[in-house]
């Protein structure tokens, strides 16, 4: 298979890709064309169908399609100009080729998460986290396989687990460096801060917002999950539950980023900072992986509102 991350300018390709997005648009002169996002496990490519001829057969988003096209360079990004399309047939492709996945070992990462759970000293907190991330088989399977976002960062299978572990590791590091921090409270909410994403986003390779994801969002659903599990533990302290839920509902840090409350405890503030740092650094890493611009600087990145310098320095 010709993977997206290996495509070269002026290359003619006949290959199967997942149609991640399909839009029917018009040029300035009023001519209809198709704008597509094609995906495989190595990345996403922009594609255009400028001529809607009889060689462009019917297809929908979420389907694997066979394309015949040419790779061009447009504004320093690769773009595929497509001449022919049809739906791919059963047996012509392997679905695993179209599901981007973490480069890290999923079971090893999950083992580190369970290790952090066992390190929690408060039996109430430990029991709650165990019930969600160890004892609930369906939740565990979703936690291991889900992405952490539709786009921007960790938008691949295992991304939620990878992001959660990174945030937990950062919070564990921070917990030993300042006074007044309750490590159990900080680490438990680090492990649970994005758990609502298993309901906010559909399974790979779709990885799109569900109805509940659109209407409620992972912050509210995560807080509801924690509330429901706490109710199953006799005598779970109301104050402790409120502190845990506060960290979860405030972890986006600002109202403009969808946070219903601002962080008001040290644990909540550290969690917000750890979550933001891991998401932004991963997005930076993924940008460098995908950028094809020659030289030391990437193309202009709208997410960061700047050009990014590539990390290519070596000690002489």
Give pLDDT, residue 315: 67
| Placement of tokens 């369970």 in the chain | 114
- Identify the residue with better confidence: 213 or 149: 213
106 in the Ramachandran plot: left (φ > 0), alpha (ψ -120 to 50) or beta?
alpha
Give pLDDT, residue 316: 60
Lowest mean pLDDT among 25-34, 232-241, 298-307: 298-307
Task: Give residue 285's pLDDT band: very low, low, confident or very high (50, 70, 90).
Answer: confident
**What's the pLDDT tens digit per position in 263-283?**
999 999 999 999 999 999 998
- Is it the case that residue 223 has pLDDT exceeding 70? yes
- Is it the case that residue 314 has pLDDT exceeding 80? no
Token pair in block for residue 89 = 């047939």
Task: Give residue 207's pLDDT band: very low, low, confident or very high (50, 70, 90).
Answer: confident
pTM: 0.81
Q: Please report the domains of the chain, with CATH numbers, ordered by start residue.
A: 4-97 (2.40.50.140), 101-288 (1.10.3210.10)
Rounded distance between C-alpha atoms, residue 44 and residue 165, angstroms: 25
- Is it the case that residue 288 has pLDDT exceeding 90? no
Give pLDDT, residue 77: 81
**What's the pLDDT tens digit per position in 36-90?**
999 888 888 999 999 999 999 999 988 999 999 999 988 878 899 999 999 999 9
The most confident of the ranges 29-43, 115-129, 247-261 is 115-129
Give pLDDT, residue 181: 97
Q: What is the mean pLDDT of the chain?
A: 92
Over range 153-169, report the average pLDDT.
91
Give pLDDT, residue 85: 96
Over range 88-103, report the average pLDDT.
87
Give pLDDT, residue 99: 81
Give pLDDT, residue 42: 85
Over range 160-177, report the average pLDDT.
97
72 sits in which H/E element: strand 64-74
Give pLDDT, residue 226: 98
Burial of 205 (0-12, 13-18, 19+ CB in 10 A): buried
83 sits in which H/E element: strand 77-87
Give pLDDT, residue 171: 98
> Which residues, including other chains, have CB under 8 Å from residue 11's CB and lie 6 or more apart?
70, 71
Task: Give residue 258's pLDDT band: very low, low, confident or very high (50, 70, 90).
Answer: confident
- Is it the case that residue 3 has pLDDT exceeding 70? yes
């Amino acid at each position: 298979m010709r993977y997206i991350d290996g495509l070269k300018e002026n290359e003619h390709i006949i290959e199967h890709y997942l149609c991640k997005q399909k839009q029917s648009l018009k040029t300035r002169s009023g001519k209809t064309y198709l704008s597509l996002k094609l995906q495989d496990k190595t990345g996403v490519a922009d594609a255009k169908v400028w001529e809607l001829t009889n060689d462009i057969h019917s297809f929908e988003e979420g389907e694997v399609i066979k394309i015949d096209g040419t790779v061009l360079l447009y504004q320093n990004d690769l773009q595929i100009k497509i001449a022919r399309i049809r739906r791919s047939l059963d047996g012509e492709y392997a679905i695993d080729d179209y599901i981007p996945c973490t480069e890290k070992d999923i079971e090893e990462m999950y083992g580190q998460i369970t290790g952090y759970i066992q390190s929690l000293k408060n039996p109430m907190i430990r029991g709650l986290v165990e019930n969600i991330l160890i004892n609930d088989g369906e939740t565990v399977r979703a936690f291991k396989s889900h992405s952490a976002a539709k786009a921007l960062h960790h938008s691949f299978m295992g991304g939620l687990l990878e992001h959660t572990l990174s945030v937990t590791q950062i919070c564990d590091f921070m917990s030993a460096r300042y006074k007044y921090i309750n490590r159990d409270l900080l680490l438990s909410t680090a492990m649970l801060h994005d758990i609502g994403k298993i309901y906010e986003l559909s399974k790979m390779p779709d990885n799109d917002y569900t109805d509940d994801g659109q209407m409620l969002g992972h912050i509210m659903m995560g807080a509801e999950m924690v509330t429901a599990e706490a109710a199953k533990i006799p005598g779970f302290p109301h104050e402790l539950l409120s502190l845990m839920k506060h960290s979860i509902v405030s972890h986006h840090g600002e109202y403009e980023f969808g946070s219903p409350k601002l962080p008001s405890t040290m644990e909540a503030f550290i969690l917000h900072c750890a979550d933001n740092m891991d998401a932004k650094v991963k997005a930076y890493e993924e940008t460098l992986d995908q950028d094809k611009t020659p030289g030391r600087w990437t193309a202009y990145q709208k997410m960061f509102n700047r050009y990014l310098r590539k990390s290519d320095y070596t000690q002489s």
